[in-house]
Amino acid sequence: MKFVFLAIAFGASLLVSAQQKTPVYLDVTKPIEERVENALSQMTIEEKVSLCHAQSKFSSKGVPRLGIPEVWTDDGPHGIREEVFWDEWDGAHWTNDSCTAFPALTCLAATFNPELSLLYGKSIGEEARYRNKTVLLGPGVNIYRTPLNGRNFEYLGEDPFLSSQMVVPYIQGVQSMGVAACVKHFALNNQEEWRGHINVNVSDRALYEIYLPAFKAAVQEGKVWAIMGSYNQLRGEHCCHNDLLLNKILKNEWKFDGVVISDWGGVHSTDQAVKNGLDLEMGTYTNGLTSKGTFPYSEYYLANPFLKGIKEGKYDVALLNDKVRRILRIIFRTTMSSNRPFGRFVSPEHSEVARKIAEEGIVLLKNDKQFFPIPAGKYNKIAVIGENATRSLVIGGGSSSLKVAYEASPLQILTAKYGKEHIVYSLGYASGAAVYGREENSKLNADSLINKAFDIAKNADVVLFIGGLNKNHFQDCEGGDRHSLDLPFGQDKLIDALLKANKNTAVILASGNAVAMPWIDRVPAIVQSWYTGSEAGNALANVLSGEVNPSGKLPFSFPKKLEDNAAASFGKLAYPGDSINEYYKEDILVGYRWFDTKNIAPLFPFGYGLSYTTFAYSKPTVDMTETTAEGTVKVSFTLTNSGKTDGAETAQLYVSKPKSAVTRAAKELKAFRKVFLKAGESQTVMIDVPVNSFAYYNEGKHGWEVEPGSYTLLLGSSSRDIKGKVEVKVK
């Protein structure tokens, strides 16, 4: 008996005698659907309902009687969050849960490299697998609609095609490790202000063309196993139990066979949760990060109230069975899969992946007179100024805050690379601690910090200012949007002082959002370095020194002023709303679609990024000048590295329909290719563009339509730097 007890305690599925036949659901040689049906047939109503709601902050029940294990979730998407107490948000103070911090997803998007996205997903999947997680709560694919959104750093930019191309390999990488990816937040969670209740009013066309494509790609191409609902409402229904989103679109149109998981605190009604597509209720009676309720898990909406409704005949058992099938499916795909690989944690290989993604994602925005690179020995005295040179940027930000095994800071690695006798540091400005839910101001005197930095800068050969945003509340942080496009903590004043002290001052910005740059014309060089995780210092130092040639491209537009942003241009009803309703008045014209269609010059355009070398494009050609909606156009051109340094260029292909029966953006990204070339090397590049990607969503017909007529294919280095064009006619 002792042996039997221990076996079950350690998660043995079910002990059977030699004469007893193994239950089908335990037979890993059987198809998953057969196993699901067999397990379902052996469960009581009470056991089924118990699968549909949480039992702790991050887990839900299994069926111990049948040896079906619990589901354990963990926050991502940039690293595996520390263990917490059973029913608390506080860390459990384990000594073996310090993870690798990978770059934030804005940085991944800036690589424009799907191969790196696959490597990212596999690496973070290995860390989740090592920690025995069932579901990784990520990646996030909400669209960058406004530069004030506190969670933009967690997402993949403003363009639905780029997001779609980058999310699919991430999912495939995670799930190759036997861990379910959970794409979030479905859908329209494009701000933190009033996120728990704001009702989004958006056209069907904008919904389908802008805000849903990455989710659709995740389901139909990435075959994702889980999706998380969002906090906000769409057309009067909360998105965690929204009939249009979850039943009609996700499960019926897209044939999603996985689990819909609620965001923590996103469920508000048993009736809607039962009927409108939610499968697994997590974290109810909390704001999702701090507060908690006094209700037991048995009183969740999909717990006892659901069970009572079934027993009274109010709810059809078929609705329960559908939810349970989906939960069993994810368990059999992960924990109870026979070919689930082993994981690994904080390995040298993961550090290399994190560094590689950071290096390819860093964007060189300005580089007058070849300010960068700065090889070792070029200058005797380099002044490094700014809090972000030393501040940890993996903590804070909300649910993506991480407990890391190590974090290489920029100052640490720059000092090692150039020599401590050549580096002098000053804080320059200071923010408060990263405390969720409120602002913490620094107690240091701002003028004294500026004066000290000024004195150091004037005696240096060159100044590297490392600032930007951080993950404090009202910066890049869950639960609150930014209040301004400006740099916080007096940084603009500091930069002015540094430029007066030393005109050779470069600005390096860590952020997940665009910022205003009133000093842009006076600064010789600007680098967008994002939040790059454990390898932040190594990646930045390698780019600044020239050991790595920057190749990142902006995944979203930088406006010159906030009012140039599409959502902001329509006033408060368009963003952030009136606290009850919000109207997406810019419709499909999000990001560069707005800037280019309305002919508003951005500070930096979508797809923009400089290199230490130069690239030349030949005139593009196509394999056919006439095609049908079912065809594929092959665009060819020659790309040449015309400089003296090896490098990479992301060629971008946009499509334009000059004469259309409906409103169209001036151009839309439909393909891209990152090409690595040696100095002086040329390569013929071919890009396939399916003609059905030219379609717009026809609201009258409730479907996609490719208009006949002429289209212009635009080949560019960014949305504003078009190198060549070619015409195609669709019959």
Reply yes or no on whether 263 is catalytic.
yes
Pick the CATH number of 613-730 from 3.40.50.300, 2.60.40.10, 3.40.50.2000, 1.10.10.10: 2.60.40.10
Q: What is the pLDDT of residue 2?
A: 38
Which residues touch 451 (CB under 8 Å, ≥6 apart)? none
User: Helix, strand, or coil here: 506?
Assistant: strand
- 482 confidence band (pLDDT: 50, 70, 90): very high
70 class by beta-carbon count within 10 Å (0-12 exposed, 13-18 middle, 19+ buried): middle
395 class by beta-carbon count within 10 Å (0-12 exposed, 13-18 middle, 19+ buried): middle
Q: Which residues on neighbouring strands pair with residue 54, listed in sequence order?
A: 60
Average pLDDT of the chain to the nearest whole number: 95
Q: Do residues 277 and 252 lie in contact, with contact meaning Cβ atoms separated by under 8 Å?
A: no
Mean pLDDT of 493-500: 98
Give the containing element (helix H, strand E) for 111: helix 105-111
Of 509, 664, 454, 485, the residue nearest 562 (C-alpha): 485
The structure tokens listed for 320 are 């329960």
Residue 10 has pLDDT above 90, yes or no: no
Residue 68 has pLDDT above 50, yes or no: yes
Q: Which of 74, 75, 263, 279 is catalytic?
A: 263
User: Helix, strand, or coil here: 704?
Assistant: strand
Q: What is the pLDDT of residue 3?
A: 40
Q: What is the pLDDT of residues 673-714, one digit of tens each?
A: 999 999 999 999 999 999 999 999 999 999 999 999 999 999
For the chain, give every domain's residue range. Answer: 2-333, 362-553, 557-612, 613-730
706 class by beta-carbon count within 10 Å (0-12 exposed, 13-18 middle, 19+ buried): middle
Mean pLDDT of 48-77: 97
CATH number of the 2-333 domain: 3.20.20.300
Q: Do residues 542 and 359 lie in contact, with contact meaning Cβ atoms separated by under 8 Å?
A: yes
Of 229, 148, 245, 142, the residue nearest 193 (C-alpha): 148
Pick the CATH number of 362-553 from 1.20.120.790, 3.40.50.1700, 1.10.10.10, 3.90.950.20: 3.40.50.1700
Q: Do residues 453 and 498 lie in contact, with contact meaning Cβ atoms separated by under 8 Å?
A: yes
Of 84, 86, 76, the residue nearest 134 (C-alpha): 76
Residue 545 has pLDDT above 90, yes or no: yes
Residue 573 has pLDDT above 60, yes or no: yes
Fold agreement (2-333, 362-553): no
Rg (alpha carbons) of the chain, rounded to whole number: 26
Backbone φ/ψ region at 437: left (φ over 0), alpha (ψ -120 to 50), beta? left
The residue count for the chain:
731
